[in-house]
Structure 1
Amino acid sequence: MPFDTTSCPRFRLGVSLKMYFGYQHTLSWCRQIADIAVRHDAIHHRMAELFVMPSYPTLPVAHDIFASTHVAIGAQDLSIHEHGAFTGEVGAPMLAELGCAYVEIGHAERRRHFGETEDSIAVKTANAIRSGLTPVLCIGESEAGDVESASRACIEQFESAVSKSPTPLSESAMILAYEPHWAIGSSQPAPHHHIAGVCHRLRQHVVDLSGVSVIYGGSAGPGLLTSIHAHSDGLFLGRFVHEPSALTTILDEVLAIHERLPRTR
């Protein structure tokens, strides 16, 4: 029987390529991902929404590659400025003009290597919302600890990031990407019970904000979504999907999850 997803949740799957690939490699990867997206039932039947964040120079061509698919594109960063004499910067209005739907904000690497502060993250979040971009706000604790302390740190980062929002949060779309800093780049994600606990508390915190989703990043891979899907809206993927065929593994997992959920006939 055809899939009926009217009573099933839709997962969000994001991929950030960081600066791992060159220009042509990025475009080749995007073409392979587009081919998977066109053919796979999880995307075709909208069980999963996929967004891809390649490097700035590839955004226009990536947008064209994904134009006939359900895949959206996003940028890995944006300037605190929207226009003006700011050499080397890229503002939110241009990203929107290029066709970006999403923009990543506040990643742990930006905080650690480029000195991003809570104030600059709040400004970037406001700029993104003002230009109609959906912020993918990266939040997470610096050191391993318990669920309660991690949740408090994440909620504080979220509240700080939206403190300058130009519109009420009830009217804004946003993705909270929970990425414990100590798990980024490791061989394994954080323990599943820890991820589920923190994502559950984040969901509780934003329960009245229908446009806000909670996903997990930080060495995410196969089997994780199956374990945490009751508490998370999806995954933020990294090096695991550098081989495009690995995305099929995650999408197959989405199908399997939906097969086990109640569906209307």
Structure 2
Amino acid sequence: MTGPDLATAELTLTGRLTTASNATFLGRIGDAAVVYKPVAGEAPLWDFPSGTLAHREVAAYVISQALGWDIVPRTWLRDGPLGEGMVQLWQEQDPAQRPVDLVATDHLPETGWRGVLEGEDESGQRITLIHEDSPALRRMAVFDLIVNNADRKGDHVLAMADGHRYGVDHGLTLHRDHKLRTVLWGWVGEALTADELEGIDRVGDALHGELSHALTDLLSAEEIAALAARCARLRSAGRFPAPSGQMPAVPWPLF
């Protein structure tokens, strides 16, 4: 026996994430736990077109699928109790793991981590933003470069018990202008691996066919062209870029 059709079966709301800047609800479709973000609950932004965040979340999933790295949980558009919105399968993360963290600067781990920036906490203690040095997080950093992620906060990285890392909250992606803001800056200047370059090539090649068609109803033609240009630049450079432009390099808050 198959389960309910996730696109058409009843979506029942079970709660709300009150810390989110846009209306974000927990729900169920049959036995599947989901996150639901209605377009009607999107807060207006000065730098992103109104009513497009749900579409950008779905576009990020489609691009993740083209990469082949399973970075974004299954995400789709459908009708719900508050109208059309983005729906994403809920992922139960491992609370014992923190892929991105703030630690005292004089107690940094010796191996397995990359430092991003230093600052002071409320008491004046020096602290450092760090993230794990893992293939899974490197892949996520490459994905963020491709989709021009303007909001990769630490809590947008979900740690699965088996070591897999999911990325969520991709409403602020795929702008045609440079918007990259991320906490994953630990590999600046380092060469991309063959696996990472192959992933970029898969996206670039798919943009000549099925991927471009799939994105047509989600993004503007200018945004799709900018996506292709980012892939080409990243492939040509062959390494992780440094922050650039006038925008802050990290989101705020960091978590």
Shorter-chain TM-score tier: under 0.3
Question: TM-score normalized by structure 2?
Answer: 0.25
Higher relative contact order (CA 8 A, sep 6+): 1
Q: Which has the higher strand share?
A: 2
Q: Which has the higher helix share?
A: 1
Question: TM-score normalized by structure 1?
Answer: 0.24
